[in-house]
Amino acid sequence: LPFHAAAFESAAGRLDQLPQPNAPEIAFSGRSNVGKSSLINKVLNRKSLARISATPGKTVTINFYSLPGARLVDLPGYGYAKSSQSEKARWSGLVEGYFNAGRPLRLVVQLIDMRHPPTADDLGMLDYLLQTGAPFLVALTKCDKLNKTQRAQRRASLEEDLAFCGSVPIVEFSAVKGDGVEELRGLFSEAAQA
């Protein structure tokens, strides 16, 4: 895919604002602050196309980026401690509405901070993905924050935590050092063309 040619397309705060489902979609899911914007920007080789926000959890919108042959779908982050019940309900309505809309969803990239075990919300999201049957992979973010030994330990531990997901691809990623970028680009291109 020509990732460099991506452009911001639209933001949907309501289900009637989703774009026409006319391109293979690759969606990104993770808790607020996991590094989702940084990963999208790194894959697209852009400084700040996806907004790297200082105030996590602020906007509940699905943001769309289009490029020839695919659309990237930035789902709103979850797990922001200060979210109210009504904000959580809005999040669920929007995200479940997106997954139930019968869109050409080819891949979900589930981000998990490599330094920590999956949160309860991460596990809930993975359960939901398994339920929907959407193909997904796990990107372990901020791997540059670990040394080699810690990285191997965290990898082994996360593989156990994620065993219930079966044989999903697990990709260690760093937006700072670039680990995993080429691998993700390859997997995204394959998914979009399948």
Judged by the rule CB under 6 A, the positions of this chain that interact with ligand GDP are 30, 32-38, 52-53, 56, 77, 141-142, 144-145, 174-176
Nearer to ligand GDP (CB atom), residue 12 or residue 140: 140
CA distances (Å), origin 24, targets 68, 72, 90, 126: 10, 9, 25, 21
Identity of the residue, 37 or 66, whose beta carbon is nearer to ligand GDP in the bound complex = 37
| Phi, psi for residue 64 in degrees, rounded to 5 | -110, 135
Query: CB-wise, 104 or 142, nearer to ligand GDP?
Result: 142
Q: Is there a contact between 23 and 9 (Cβ–Cβ < 8 Å)?
A: no
Q: What backbone phi and psi angles, to 5 degrees, belong to 190?
A: -60, -45
Query: Closest Cα partner for 158 from 108, 106, 111, 124?
Result: 111
Type of residue at 140: L
- Across the chain, where does the E strand assignment appear? 7-12, 25-29, 62-67, 70-74, 105-113, 136-141, 170-172
Q: What is the largest CA-CA distance in the chain?
A: 48
Residue 36: CB minimum distance to ligand GDP, A: 3
Q: Are 179 and 153 in contact (CB under 8 A)?
A: no
Between residues 21 and 177, which has the closer beta carbon with respect to ligand GDP?
177
Shortest gap between Cβ of 28 and ligand GDP (angstroms)? 9
Residue 174 vs residues 10, 53, 141, 178: alpha-carbon distances, Å = 26, 18, 6, 5
Least separation in angstroms between residue 105's CB and ligand GDP is: 20
Residue closer to ligand GDP (CB basis): 78 or 188: 78
Shortest Cβ 22–ligand GDP spacing (Å) = 26
The minimum distance between CB 102 and ligand GDP, in angstroms, equals 27
Q: In the complex with ligand GDP, which residue's Cβ is closer, 35 or 118?
A: 35
